[in-house]
A and B are shown apart, each in its own frame.
Chain A
Amino acid sequence: MPKEYMTIRDVIGPLLLVEKVTDVKYGELVELQFPDGSMGRGNVLEITKDTALIQSFEGTRGINTTQTRVRFVGKGMEVGVSKDILGRVFDGLGHTIDGGPEIIPEKRLSIYGEPMNPYARDYPEDFIQTGISAIDGLNPLVRGQKLPIFSGAGLPHPQVAAQIARQSRVLGKEEELAIVFCAMGITFEEAEYFISEFKRTAAIEKAVIFINLADDPAVERIATPRVALTTAEYLAYDLGMHVLVILTDMTYYCEALREVSAARKEVPGRRGYPGYLYTDLATIYERAGKIKDKKGSITQIPILSMPEDDKTHPIPDLTGYITEGQIILSRDLHRKGIYPPIDVLPSLSRLKEKGIGTGKTREDHSSVSNQLFAAYARGKEAKELAIILGEAALSDIDKKFAKFSEEFETRFIQQGGFENRTIEQTLDLGWELLSYLPKAELKRVSEEQIEKYMSRFVKEEAEEELEEVKA
Chain B
Amino acid sequence: MEQGMISKVSGPLVVAEGLTNAKMYDLVRVGKERLMGEVIELRGKTASIQVYEETIGLGPGDPVYATGEALSVELGPGLLESIYDGVQRPLDVIRDKVGDFIARGVEAPGLDREKKWDFKPVAKVGDKVSTGDILGTVQETTIIEHKVMVPPDVEGELKEIYSGEFTVEEPIAILEKDGKKHEITMLQKWPVRCGRPYKKKTPPSVPLLSGQRVIDTFFPVAKGGTACVPGPFGSGKTVIQHQLAKWANAEIIIFIGCGERGNEMTDVLMEFPKLKDPYSGDPLMRRTVLIANTSNMPVAAREASVYTGITIGEYFRDMGYSVALQADSTSRWAEALREISGRLEEMPGEEGYPAYLGSRAAAFYERAGRTICLGKDEREGSLTVVGAVSPPGGDLSEPVTQNTLRIVKVFWGLEDQLAYQRHFPAINWLQSYSLYMNETEEYWTKEVDPEFKKLRADAMAILQREAELKEIVRLVGVEALSTNERILMETARSIREDFLQQNAFHEVDTFSSLKKQFLMLKTIMRFHDTALEAIEKGINIKDILDAPIREKISRAKFIKEEEIEKLEDLLKDISSQFKASRMGGE
A residues touching B (Cβ–Cβ < 8 Å)?
22-28, 45-50, 76, 112-124, 144-145, 237, 266-270, 275-276, 278-279, 282-283, 285-287, 289, 291-292, 294, 311-314, 317-318, 320-322, 324-326, 345-346, 348, 350-351, 353-354, 366, 370, 373-374, 377-378, 385, 388-389, 393, 395, 440, 443
B101 and A270 contacting across the interface, CB-CB below 8 Å:
no
Q: List 8 A-B contacts (CB under 8 A).
A: A117-B95, A119-B95, A121-B263, A275-B335, A312-B232, A312-B394, A322-B261, A393-B477
Any A CB within 8 A of the CB of B100: yes
Interface centre among B83, B100, B421 (most CB of A within 10 A): B100
Nearest-Cβ distance from residue A53 to partner chain B, whole angstroms:
8
Any A CB within 8 A of the CB of B390: yes
Any A CB within 8 A of the CB of B497: yes
- B81-103 interface (Cβ within 8 A of A): 83, 91-92, 94-95, 99-103
A283 and B421 contacting across the interface, CB-CB below 8 Å:
no
A26 and B57 contacting across the interface, CB-CB below 8 Å:
yes
Any A CB within 8 A of the CB of B43: no
Contact status of A348 and B335, CB under 8 A, knowing A117-B100, A377-B422, A389-B477: no
Q: Which of B83, B267, B269, B339 contacts A276 (CB 8 A)?
A: B339
Rounded to whole angstroms, the CA-CA distance of A395 and B480 in the bound complex is 12
What residues of chain B lie closer than 8 Å to A311, measured between beta carbons? 393
Any A CB within 8 A of the CB of B416: yes
A374 and B422 contacting across the interface, CB-CB below 8 Å:
yes
Contact status of A116 and B262, CB under 8 A, knowing A270-B392, A389-B477: yes
With both beta carbons as reference points, the residue of chain B lying nearest to A349 in the complex is identified as B234
What residues of chain B lie closer than 8 Å to A374, measured between beta carbons? 421-422
Rounded to whole angstroms, the CA-CA distance of A221 and B367 in the bound complex is 44
Rounded to whole angstroms, the CA-CA distance of A345 and B420 in the bound complex is 5
What residues of chain B lie closer than 8 Å to A145, measured between beta carbons? 263
B59 and A23 contacting across the interface, CB-CB below 8 Å:
yes
- B465-490 interface (Cβ within 8 A of A): 473-479
Q: Which of A28, A287, A351, A385 contacts B474 (CB 8 A)?
A: A385
What residues of chain B lie closer than 8 Å to A118, measured between beta carbons? 83, 91, 257, 262, 265-266, 269, 292, 294
What residues of chain B lie closer than 8 Å to A119, measured between beta carbons? 83, 91-92, 94-95, 269, 292
Nearest-Cβ distance from residue A17 to partner chain B, whole angstroms:
13
Nearest-Cβ distance from residue B243 to partner chain A, whole angstroms:
13
A286 and B233 contacting across the interface, CB-CB below 8 Å:
no
A351 and B269 contacting across the interface, CB-CB below 8 Å:
no
| Interface pairs A-B: 9 shortest CB-CB | A312-B393, A282-B295, A27-B56, A286-B296, A320-B233, A25-B59, A26-B9, A393-B477, A114-B101
What residues of chain A lie closer than 8 Å to B546, measured between beta carbons? 440
Rounded to whole angstroms, the CA-CA distance of A393 and B54 in the bound complex is 62
A443 and B497 contacting across the interface, CB-CB below 8 Å:
yes
What residues of chain B lie closer than 8 Å to A114, measured between beta carbons? 54, 101-104
Nearest-Cβ distance from residue B14 to partner chain A, whole angstroms:
9
A48 and B420 contacting across the interface, CB-CB below 8 Å:
no
A124 and B234 contacting across the interface, CB-CB below 8 Å:
no
Nearest-Cβ distance from residue A51 to partner chain B, whole angstroms:
9
With both beta carbons as reference points, the residue of chain A lying nearest to B234 in the complex is identified as A348
A282 and B259 contacting across the interface, CB-CB below 8 Å:
yes
Nearest-Cβ distance from residue A260 to partner chain B, whole angstroms:
12
B101 and A117 contacting across the interface, CB-CB below 8 Å:
yes
A312 and B262 contacting across the interface, CB-CB below 8 Å:
no
Nearest-Cβ distance from residue A176 to partner chain B, whole angstroms:
20
Rounded to whole angstroms, the CA-CA distance of A312 and B269 in the bound complex is 32
What residues of chain B lie closer than 8 Å to A345, measured between beta carbons? 420-421
Rounded to whole angstroms, the CA-CA distance of A245 and B232 in the bound complex is 26
B234 and A268 contacting across the interface, CB-CB below 8 Å:
no
Rounded to whole angstroms, the CA-CA distance of A228 and B263 in the bound complex is 21
A324 and B60 contacting across the interface, CB-CB below 8 Å:
no
What residues of chain B lie closer than 8 Å to A322, measured between beta carbons? 261, 295
What residues of chain A lie closer than 8 Å to B83, measured between beta carbons? 118-119
B551 and A440 contacting across the interface, CB-CB below 8 Å:
yes
B338 and A275 contacting across the interface, CB-CB below 8 Å:
yes
Contact status of A353 and B269, CB under 8 A, knowing A275-B352, A320-B233: no
**Beyond A286-B262, A370-B503, A440-B551: 15 further Cβ-contacts under 8 Å?**
A28-B59, A115-B298, A118-B262, A118-B292, A121-B266, A123-B266, A276-B339, A278-B332, A317-B232, A348-B234, A350-B234, A370-B422, A374-B422, A395-B478, A443-B554
Nearest-Cβ distance from residue A311 to partner chain B, whole angstroms:
8
Interface centre among B54, B332, B420, B546 (most CB of A within 10 A): B420
What residues of chain B lie closer than 8 Å to A353, measured between beta carbons? 505
A291 and B335 contacting across the interface, CB-CB below 8 Å:
no
Q: Which of B11, B263, B351 contacts A270 (CB 8 A)?
A: B351
Q: Which of A115, A124, A292, A370 contacts B102 (CB 8 A)?
A: A115
What residues of chain A lie closer than 8 Å to B100, measured between beta carbons? 116-117, 120, 237, 291-292, 294
A123 and B267 contacting across the interface, CB-CB below 8 Å:
yes
What residues of chain B lie closer than 8 Å to A269, measured between beta carbons? 338, 351-352
What residues of chain A lie closer than 8 Å to B294, measured between beta carbons? 115, 118, 282, 286
What residues of chain B lie closer than 8 Å to A112, measured between beta carbons? 54, 56
B58 and A26 contacting across the interface, CB-CB below 8 Å:
yes
Contact status of A115 and B296, CB under 8 A, knowing A26-B58, A326-B234, A370-B422: yes
What residues of chain B lie closer than 8 Å to A350, measured between beta carbons? 234
Any A CB within 8 A of the CB of B270: yes
Rounded to whole angstroms, the CA-CA distance of A347 and B188 in the bound complex is 48
Any A CB within 8 A of the CB of B379: no
Any A CB within 8 A of the CB of B297: yes
Interface centre among A46, A124, A326 (most CB of B within 10 A): A46
With both beta carbons as reference points, the residue of chain B lying nearest to A354 in the complex is identified as B267
With both beta carbons as reference points, the residue of chain B lying nearest to A381 in the complex is identified as B421
Nearest-Cβ distance from residue B289 to partner chain A, whole angstroms:
14
B59 and A116 contacting across the interface, CB-CB below 8 Å:
no
A76 and B57 contacting across the interface, CB-CB below 8 Å:
yes
With both beta carbons as reference points, the residue of chain A lying nearest to B390 in the complex is identified as A321
Any A CB within 8 A of the CB of B126: no
Rounded to whole angstroms, the CA-CA distance of A373 and B546 in the bound complex is 24
Contact status of A49 and B56, CB under 8 A, knowing A118-B292, A366-B505, A443-B554: no
A279 and B9 contacting across the interface, CB-CB below 8 Å:
no
With both beta carbons as reference points, the residue of chain A lying nearest to B548 in the complex is identified as A440
Rounded to whole angstroms, the CA-CA distance of A220 and B416 in the bound complex is 36
Any A CB within 8 A of the CB of B3: no
What residues of chain B lie closer than 8 Å to A25, measured between beta carbons? 9, 56-59
- B257-291 interface (Cβ within 8 A of A): 257, 259, 261-263, 265-267, 269-270
Q: Which of B11, B95, B270 contacts A120 (CB 8 A)?
A: B95
Any A CB within 8 A of the CB of B7: yes
A351 and B348 contacting across the interface, CB-CB below 8 Å:
no
Any A CB within 8 A of the CB of B10: yes
Rounded to whole angstroms, the CA-CA distance of A275 and B348 in the bound complex is 11
Q: Which of A49, A122, A278, A389 contacts B8 (CB 8 A)?
A: A49
Rounded to whole angstroms, the CA-CA distance of A25 and B92 in the bound complex is 31
Nearest-Cβ distance from residue A399 to partner chain B, whole angstroms:
12
Interface centre among A45, A322, A325 (most CB of B within 10 A): A322
With both beta carbons as reference points, the residue of chain A lying nearest to B424 in the complex is identified as A370
Any A CB within 8 A of the CB of B18: no
With both beta carbons as reference points, the residue of chain B lying nearest to A314 in the complex is identified as B392
With both beta carbons as reference points, the residue of chain A lying nearest to B554 in the complex is identified as A443
What residues of chain B lie closer than 8 Å to A275, measured between beta carbons? 335, 338-339, 342, 352
A115 and B297 contacting across the interface, CB-CB below 8 Å:
yes
Contact status of A276 and B299, CB under 8 A, knowing A115-B102, A326-B234, A373-B421: yes
Any A CB within 8 A of the CB of B61: yes
Interface centre among B59, B298, B332, B476 (most CB of A within 10 A): B59
Any A CB within 8 A of the CB of B120: no
What residues of chain A lie closer than 8 Å to B270, measured between beta carbons? 123
- B395-439 interface (Cβ within 8 A of A): 395, 416, 419-422
With both beta carbons as reference points, the residue of chain A lying nearest to B558 in the complex is identified as A446
Rounded to whole angstroms, the CA-CA distance of A318 and B394 in the bound complex is 11
Q: Which of B234, B393, B479, B550 contacts A440 (CB 8 A)?
A: B550
A346 and B91 contacting across the interface, CB-CB below 8 Å:
no
With both beta carbons as reference points, the residue of chain A lying nearest to B477 in the complex is identified as A393
